[in-house]
Amino acid sequence: MSERNVWITGVGVVSPLGNSYPEFARKILEGASGIRPMTEDDGPTLEGQIAACVDVIPAHAEIETTFPPRNRLERLTLACCIEALRDSGWWDRRNDVRVGVSVGMGAEWLRTWEESCLDGEQRLYKPELDDQSILDFVRTALGLRGPVTAVAAACASANYAISQGKRWIEMGWADVCLVGGCDLVTPMAAAGFGNLRALSRRTSDPASASRPFDRERDGFVLGEGGAVFVLESADHARRRGAKPYAEVAGFGASSDASHMIIPSSDPEPAARAIRAALADAKINPGQVDYINAHATSTPVGDAAETRSLKLALGSSATKTAISSTKSMTGHLLSGAAAVETVACIAAFERQAVPPTINLHEVDPECDLRHVPHTAREQKVRVTLSNSFGFGGNNTCLILRKAA
């Protein structure tokens, strides 16, 4: 396998904090919250709940006139892909190269069923509306000719997808890859997590409900949106004079093989994923400048991640700046790792670490080097981003500032 470096050269983002990279980067470093009460416009069955919602998903008439999206998730994924290609400079030349697509979609069938296959109160399933996957739709609409696959690994989906695109570039299976993750807040997702008692009950004050690492945290807040990135080899990008956002330096993964929902009480499996990512990137723990934590604001999960970081990083765990941007974006499920990659890119560009807002009193079980309330200016050359999914899917992605 080739050892050539893989760069991110394009970003497309649709999120509760904005529908462009510059807007998202500005708000994530300002400590802005995208969490609000949901209204009937978000879905009649969701009214009265809180979430970090996307107000408007950008439409692209030049594509949608011929290939109209069938549902919001299809439009969201298409918008992220189009903007990433435009940002990278490949939009008008996308048919000249093999463009692969690897995107975390989670329970794609659930979104399709909810948004396209319900007929009023009769709940009639219409298989004719389910004959094409979302990524097949995107490939057809954009005329892409590389390999295409959706990744479903719960909250770790987007990290897996980014890693897969990196390997495709290294192995020469594609010239350019679109990678990332997208997800939406839907009635069934809200009901399911609510029944699991995983959601915050701080509904009277939405902006303060997501409070990772805080002693008073009581559950996570659902978010929606996603991000897609253009990957290509550094040599390929240099030849065309492309500007890199970051290098995808390393990836590690493991499984708890423990419980469908609750993180393992043993910190070793998640620590193994972190150590694997460090080894893949060929760096040591002391070289990491910023940790973007998975920390969703659940009592069990945040403490479990802290133990895994200490086991994997040793003394560096308490010396390295850490924050959870889910305090602002909510938890985007399959799209979480993707928008958190955008947060890491913003840290490189602005040389500042995004904060964890609502962190008023650190839980003693989460005694790390937190960045509460406001961004911290510092050197950022290497970032480590954890994404741990239901079922014990542990992933860690390492980015390096590209030179």
Let me know: does 396 contact 366? Beta carbons within 8 Å.
Answer: no
Query: Helix (H, G, I), strand (E, B), or coil: what is residue 387?
Result: strand
Q: Which tokens belong to 164?
A: 């897969």
Rounded to an integer, what distance in angstroms lies between the CA atom of residue 8 and that of residue 278?
19
- The CA-based dihedral angle spanning residues 28, 30, 34, 37, taken in that order and rounded to the nearest 10 degrees: 160
| Structure-token pair, residue 46 | 């969701």
Q: For tokens 């990512």, name the residue.
A: 277
Q: What are phi and psi of 102, to 5 degrees?
A: -140, 110
**Alpha-carbon distance 171 to 2, whole Å?**
6
With contact defined as beta carbons under 8 Å apart, do 57 and 79 qualify? yes
CA distance 372 to 366: 13
Report the alpha-carbon distance of residue 232 to residue 353 in Å, rounded. Answer: 26
Residues designated as active site: 155, 294, 331
- Using CA atoms, how far apart are residues 95 and 175, in angstroms rounded to an integer? 11
327/295 Cα distance (integer angstroms):
9
Query: Do the Cβ atoms of 63 and 77 come closer than 8 Å?
Result: no
Instruction: State both tokens at 4.
Output: 């050539």
End-to-end CA distance of the chain: 22
